[in-house]
């Protein structure tokens, strides 16, 4: 019989064979094979499969001797896992069990010790002493808790119940065009994860038998608990192999489910979808919620494992995005997920640049992209709900990734050097126009713009600011300079629709809106707080609305309206609100009111068209549509006042406080709702996330 299946001769006092430590602690039946039992081999924890000669007495830690060149450690399965030579002993530091704390900074409780390691003598025992009764009892208690914690955080069987229809779910993912799917940070790993689930789970286990589910859950739990360590020379193409095969983890399942949900949301309903999902809108919505719940369970399982993994962190990002699409961007649950992301950033030490010289170039770049994506997403959602951001550049060393596509990061040697040689001094590619692969440039601009957005939010959300006007002007100037530094093909103009493919033009108009919206927020803040002339605000609002309406061209090219729905709500609603109030007041004539009415009517139809019942932001968009429609009906029913001939440079308000009320709270008694808040989009969702979507 092979050595791997040799029966253990060790017997307990009652004459029964001794179980290995993992089986003994988890109360599982042990096969007693040596050097590792079958259960530990199947769970991938061979190194922890130890047959303790006296489990209730603890291991005796021998005195360490300084090794000599001729010294060879004793070949003992019991001792090798608890002893090591001096070169492998970690530096002395205060730790909690199993590193559950995560990253600890310079002001942490252990900083005094970690900063003075050279003055502290080497320990004579391991960091966590397990030889004492108290230490052994602590390990037993926590091991028991960890064995049940995962099942208390979510029902793993719910996920497997959903995975029974893997062929069905694969068809849903395949319907999402790769041209649109590439905007997901998970896209490079999606195909491998999908392949792994089919080969490593669906083809190996009988999902029709519930008894097989226990084996699957044990395998996933054991692999997810095992820390990942990549070799210094790991290749881009080999990255997912650490999440596949016998190493398949909950991260792999989560990626598959998230991409399935995003596909379901981003692809319009057609006859094929009706065959896959059902003919009723409720059928699609029900499946989207099930996918969200299942992906939440996977994320919670991954979060239980400390430290986290790269794929687990990227999974959190897409899970937050998918939740915003299903539940709505203002939903409390989405804000909570954003908090979980910020927690992961700081707890895992992602905010500090700890790149090593032997870390693969592609892995550095992908990790930079993930952190930048999290930082930018934090600013966008904070803007939407008007709350302070969680991830601040004051405490983060964010290195913006280079303008290299994933396909270029996968190159090696001379090919990689050739791709890097095309980069300019600022990190942008030297290409003169957009290509089919311009994703890196779009995300890079998204991250760079987030730096300006944080400055904007700091002024708009901080009630106490000195030199407010000067600071606002400085941020506006920096925002324009940042936008001017982008490649020319990434700067939007109305002619782009005729000269470029619509996809890069769509991304360019998003960057344009993101930039001009910074100034819009600052101008609106100056009007409210310092009673500045609202002329610039009205002009900016009209520019934003025109740009939003121009994006309608993209709908005829792509099948997805997800991005357009976001643009309509984030940028369109506030701008439309300012213009609607201008129609009511008839005080500032920098833009033709006839044109404003026309554009607002089109925008109202957009709100109805893009946000159908079932969409996450439907409730908010529907309230905005009704409010704007009510204002338009009132304005159109009122006889036109003669337009005064006023030069834009000579515009003044006879009563800036009474006419615009600081663009604050206005009293329109004719509205059915009575008291009307100018910041009406704030009142569109009185308690974010409470009302159903």
Q: What's the pLDDT score for residue 114?
A: 64
* CB contact at 8 A, 22 and 47: no
- Say how far residue 579 (Cα) sits from the centre of its chain: 34
Poorest-pLDDT segment among 151-155, 165-169, 368-372, 468-472: 151-155
Question: Cβ atoms within 10 A of the Cβ of 375, count?
Answer: 28
Question: Cβ atoms within 10 A of the Cβ of 38, count?
Answer: 14
Upstream peptide bond of 156 is cis (omega within 30 degrees of 0):
no
Q: What's the pLDDT score for residue 541?
A: 95
List the one residue out of 635, 648, 641, 568 whose CA is nearest residue 604: 568
SS (H, E, C) 284-311: HHHHHHHHHHHHHHHHHHHHHCCCCCHH
On the question of pLDDT at 223 being above 60, the answer is yes
pTM attached to this predicted model: 0.75
**Mean pLDDT over residues 381-391, rounded?**
93
On the question of pLDDT at 280 being above 80, the answer is no
**Mean pLDDT over residues 526-544, rounded?**
92
Q: How far is residue 454's CA from residue 518's CA, in Å, rounded to a whole number?
A: 10
Poorest-pLDDT segment among 41-55, 158-172, 186-200, 395-409: 41-55
Q: How confident is the model at residue 88 (pLDDT cuts 50, 70, 90)?
A: very low
Number of H helices, E strands in the chain: 29, 4
Q: How far is residue 280's CA from residue 675's CA, in Å, rounded to a whole number?
A: 39
Percent of the chain past pLDDT 90, that is, above it, reads 35
Q: How far is residue 20's CA from residue 37's CA, in Å, rounded to a whole number?
A: 8
Question: Cβ atoms within 10 A of the Cβ of 402, count?
Answer: 21
- Say how far residue 126 (Cα) sits from the centre of its chain: 37
List the one residue out of 241, 234, 170 whose CA is nearest residue 202: 170
On the question of pLDDT at 518 being above 90, the answer is yes
Q: How far is residue 23's CA from residue 38's CA, in Å, rounded to a whole number?
A: 11
Q: What's the pLDDT score for residue 318?
A: 95
Kindly state the helix (H) or strand (E) to which residue 263 belongs, with its residue range. Answer: helix 250-266
More confident residue, 112 or 173: 173
Q: How confident is the model at residue 502 (pLDDT cuts 50, 70, 90)?
A: low
Rounded to a whole number, what is the largest CA-CA distance in the chain? 105
On the question of pLDDT at 371 being above 90, the answer is yes
On the question of pLDDT at 475 being above 70, the answer is yes
Q: What's the pLDDT score for residue 153?
A: 43
Q: How far is residue 260's CA from residue 148's CA, in Å, rounded to a whole number?
A: 29
More confident residue, 21 or 14: 21
On the question of pLDDT at 458 being above 70, the answer is yes
On the question of pLDDT at 684 being above 50, the answer is no
CATH domain 1-59 topology = CD2-Gal4 (4.10.240)
Q: What's the pLDDT score for residue 460?
A: 92
Q: What's the pLDDT score for residue 265?
A: 81
The per-residue DSSP string of 389-438 comes to -SS-TTS----PPPS--HHHHT--HHHHHHHHTTB-TTS-B--SS--S--
Kindly state the helix (H) or strand (E) to which residue 677 belongs, with its residue range. Answer: strand 676-677
pLDDT in tens, 571-630: 999 999 999 988 887 766 788 888 999 999 999 988 887 777 777 888 888 888 999 999
On the question of pLDDT at 186 being above 60, the answer is yes
Would you give the DSSP letter of residue 568? Answer: I
More confident residue, 426 or 119: 426
Most confident of 82-96, 140-154, 257-271: 257-271
Q: How far is residue 141's CA from residue 46's CA, in Å, rounded to a whole number?
A: 22
pLDDT in tens, 432-448: 666 655 788 889 999 99
Q: How far is residue 565's CA from residue 680's CA, in Å, rounded to a whole number?
A: 19
Question: Cβ atoms within 10 A of the Cβ of 133, count?
Answer: 10
Q: How far is residue 434's CA from residue 441's CA, in Å, rounded to a whole number?
A: 9
CATH 4.10.240.10 in the chain, residue ranges? 1-59
Helix 250-266 and helix 187-196, axial crossing angle in degrees, nearest 10 = 120
On the question of pLDDT at 53 being above 90, the answer is no
* CB contact at 8 A, 344 and 365: no
* CB contact at 8 A, 425 and 431: no
Q: How confident is the model at residue 102 (pLDDT cuts 50, 70, 90)?
A: low
Percent of the chain past pLDDT 70, that is, above it, reads 68
Write b or e for each residue in 320-359: b if 16 or more Cβ atoms lie within 10 A of its Cβ, otherwise e: bbbbbbbbbbbbebbbebbebbbebbbbbebbeeeeeeee
pLDDT in tens, 614-665: 778 888 888 889 999 998 988 888 745 555 444 444 333 333 323 333 323 2
Kindly state the helix (H) or strand (E) to which residue 6 belongs, with its residue range. Answer: strand 6-7
On the question of pLDDT at 559 being above 50, the answer is no
Q: What's the pLDDT score for residue 30?
A: 84
**Mean pLDDT over residues 293-318, rounded?**
90
On the question of pLDDT at 252 being above 70, the answer is yes
On the question of pLDDT at 315 being above 90, the answer is yes
Q: What's the pLDDT score for residue 348?
A: 85
Most confident of 12-16, 47-51, 179-183: 47-51
**Mean pLDDT over residues 185-200, rounded?**
92
**Mean pLDDT over residues 139-153, rounded?**
54
The per-residue DSSP string of 129-190 comes to --SSHHHHHHHHHHHHHHHHHHHHS--HHHHHHHHTTHHHHHHHHHTS-HHHHTTSTTHHHH
On the question of pLDDT at 676 being above 70, the answer is no
Beta strands 665-666 and 33-34: pairing type?
unpaired
Residue 467's Cβ-count burial label (10 Å; 0-12, 13-18, 19+) is exposed
Question: Cβ atoms within 10 A of the Cβ of 109, count?
Answer: 9
């Amino acid at each position: 019989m092979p050595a791997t299946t040799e029966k253990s001769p060790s017997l307990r006092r009652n004459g029964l064979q001794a179980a290995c430590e993992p089986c003994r602690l988890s109360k599982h039946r042990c096969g007693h094979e040596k050097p590792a039992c079958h259960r530990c081999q199947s769970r991938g924890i061979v190194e922890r499969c130890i047959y303790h000669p006296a489990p209730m007495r603890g291991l005796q830690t021998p005195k360490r001797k300084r090794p000599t060149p001729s010294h060879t450690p004793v070949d003992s399965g019991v001792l090798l896992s608890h002893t090591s030579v001096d070169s492998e002993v970690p530096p002395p530091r205060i730790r909690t069990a199993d590193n559950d704390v995560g990253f600890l900074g310079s002001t942490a409780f252990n900083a005094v010790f970690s900063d003075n390691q050279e003055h502290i003598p080497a320990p004579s025992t391991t960091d966590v002493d397990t030889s004492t009764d108290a230490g052994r009892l602590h390990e037993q208690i926590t091991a028991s808790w960890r064995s049940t914690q995962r099942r208390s955080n979510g029902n793993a069987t719910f996920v497997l119940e959903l995975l029974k229809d893997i062929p069905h779910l694969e068809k849903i993912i395949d319907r999402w065009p790769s041209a649109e799917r590439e905007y997901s940070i998970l896209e490079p790993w999606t195909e491998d994860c999908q392949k792994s689930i089919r080969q490593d789970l669906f083809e190996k286990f009988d999902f029709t038998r519930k008894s097989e589910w226990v084996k699957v859950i044990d395998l996933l739990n054991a692999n997810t608990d095992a820390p990942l360590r990549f070799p210094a020379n790991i290749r881009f193409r080999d990255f997912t192999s650490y999440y596949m095969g016998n190493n398949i983890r909950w991260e792999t399942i989560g990626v598959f489910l998230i991409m399935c949900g995003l596909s379901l949301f981003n692809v319009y309903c057609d006859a094929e979808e009706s065959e896959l999902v059902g003919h009723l809108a409720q059928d699609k919505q029900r499946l989207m919620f099930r996918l969200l719940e299942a992906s939440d369970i996977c994320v919670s399982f991954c979060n239980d494992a400390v430290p986290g993994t790269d794929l687990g962190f990227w999974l959190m990002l897409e899970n937050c995005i998918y939740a915003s699409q299903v539940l709505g961007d203002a939903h409390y649950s989405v804000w909570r997920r954003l908090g979980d992301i910020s927690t992961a950033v700081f707890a895992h030490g992602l905010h500090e640049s700890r790149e090593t010289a032997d870390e693969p170039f592609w892995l550095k770049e992908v990790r930079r992209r993930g952190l930048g994506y999290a930082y930018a997403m934090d600013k966008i959602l904070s803007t939407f709900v008007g709350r302070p951001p969680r991830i601040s550049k004051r405490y983060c060393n964010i290195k913006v990734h280079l303008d290299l596509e994933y396909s270029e990061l996968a190159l090696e040697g001379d090919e990689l050097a050739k791709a890097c040689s095309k980069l300019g001094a600022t990190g942008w590619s030297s290409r003169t126009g957009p290509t089919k692969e311009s994703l890196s440039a779009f995300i890079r601009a998204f991250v760079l713009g987030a730096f300006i957005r944080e400055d904007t939010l700091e002024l708009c959300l901080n009630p106490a600011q000195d030199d407010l006007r000067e600071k606002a002007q400085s941020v506006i100037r920096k925002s324009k300079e940042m936008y001017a530094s982008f490649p020319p093909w990434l700067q939007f103009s109305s002619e782009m629709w005729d000269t470029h493919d619509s996809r890069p033009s769509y991304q360019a108009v998003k960057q344009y809106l993101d930039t001009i919206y910074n100034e819009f927020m600052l101008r609106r803040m100056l009007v409210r707080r310092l009673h500045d002339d609202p002329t610039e605000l009205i002009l900016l609002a009209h520019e934003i609305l025109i740009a939003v309406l121009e994006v309608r061209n993209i709908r005829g090219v792509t099948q997805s309206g997800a991005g357009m729905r976001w643009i309509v709500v984030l940028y369109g609603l506030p701008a439309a609100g300012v213009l609607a109030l201008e129609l009511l007041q008839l005080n500032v004539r920098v833009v033709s009111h006839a044109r404003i009415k026309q554009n607002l009517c089109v925008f109202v139809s957009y709100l109805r068209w893009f946000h159908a019942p079932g969409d996450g932001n439907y409730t908010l968009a529907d309230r905005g549509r009704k409010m704007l429609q009510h204002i338009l009906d009132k304005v159109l029913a009122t006889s036109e006042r003669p337009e005064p001939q006023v030069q834009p440079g000579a515009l003044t308000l006879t009563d800036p406080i009474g006419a615009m009320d600081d663009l604050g709270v206005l009293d329109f008694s004719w509205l059915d709702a009575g008291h009307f808040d100018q910041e009406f989009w704030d009142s569109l969702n009185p308690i974010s996330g409470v009302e159903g979507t």
